[in-house]
Structure 1
Amino acid sequence: RFCSELKLSGDVQAKAIEILKDAADKELTSGRGPTGVAAASIYISSILCGERRTQREVADVAGVTEVTIRNRYKELAERLDIDIIL
């Protein structure tokens, strides 16, 4: 739902789901709000797929704060070895 509201492609959505599955496998989601983790994975995948959205845009659609996205995205990128060039 968030991906469609942000007008992101199916590729971005698929990548976000892949990131979420990897995060769940490594138990990076426990104790974290699922919406924040989902929003961060969408933010990361939008960058990786060349359809970048700002943290503010993703936060507004997901109903979380930019700080939440920033914290979760840093955790996910670091723990899943994802290189992000901003």
Structure 2
Amino acid sequence: MYRASDHVDNEEYIEELQEAADRLDLGTEARSRAEDVFLSNLPESSRSKRATVASSLYVGALVAGDQRSQRAVADAVGVSRLSVQQRWKELLETVGFDAPDW
């Protein structure tokens, strides 16, 4: 869970998340889940926040059944695909799902 102040303190990243979701044409549920995942897993460094935005979008879309490729999500946020690949399973597990073994 996160505090309301987390949303205010990270408004620029939430805006970036929503803009990337627009580019990916994600639905409302995927956007909402991605935002919750991001705010529940805030990293300390600004550099890590952009990768977490991308990974949160990937997880939000996956959980909502609106899946996009890691490459598409990474491109929409402007990070490497490796950034998404390295973080998404951990984030998926933080929201209560088991990551697949593939």
Q: Is TM-score (shorter-chain normalized) higher than 0.5?
A: yes
Smaller-chain TM-score range?
Answer: 0.7 to 0.9
- The CA distance in 2 between the partners of 1:49 and 1:76, in whole Å, is 14
Name stretches of at least 5 consecutive residues in structure 1 with no aligned partner.
none
Q: Indicate conservation of the 8 Å contact 1:48/1:84, yes or no.
A: no
Residue in structure 1 matched with residue 33 of structure 2 by the alignment:
15
Tell me which of 35, 46, 53 is aligned to 2:68.
53
Name stretches of at least 5 consecutive residues in structure 2 with no aligned partner.
1-18
Higher relative contact order (CA 8 A, sep 6+): 1
- The CA distance in 2 between the partners of 1:50 and 1:69, in whole Å, is 18
Q: Could you tell me the TM-score, scaled by structure 2's length?
A: 0.70
Q: When the two structures are aligned, how many residues end up with a matched partner?
A: 81
Q: Could you tell me the TM-score, scaled by structure 1's length?
A: 0.82
Q: Percent identity?
A: 27
Please say which structure displays the higher CA radius of gyration.
Answer: 2
- The CA distance in 2 between the partners of 1:51 and 1:11, in whole Å, is 9
Matched, 1:33 2:48: yes
Q: Indicate conservation of the 8 Å contact 2:89/2:99, yes or no.
A: no
Identify, as 1 or 2, the structure richer in helix: 2
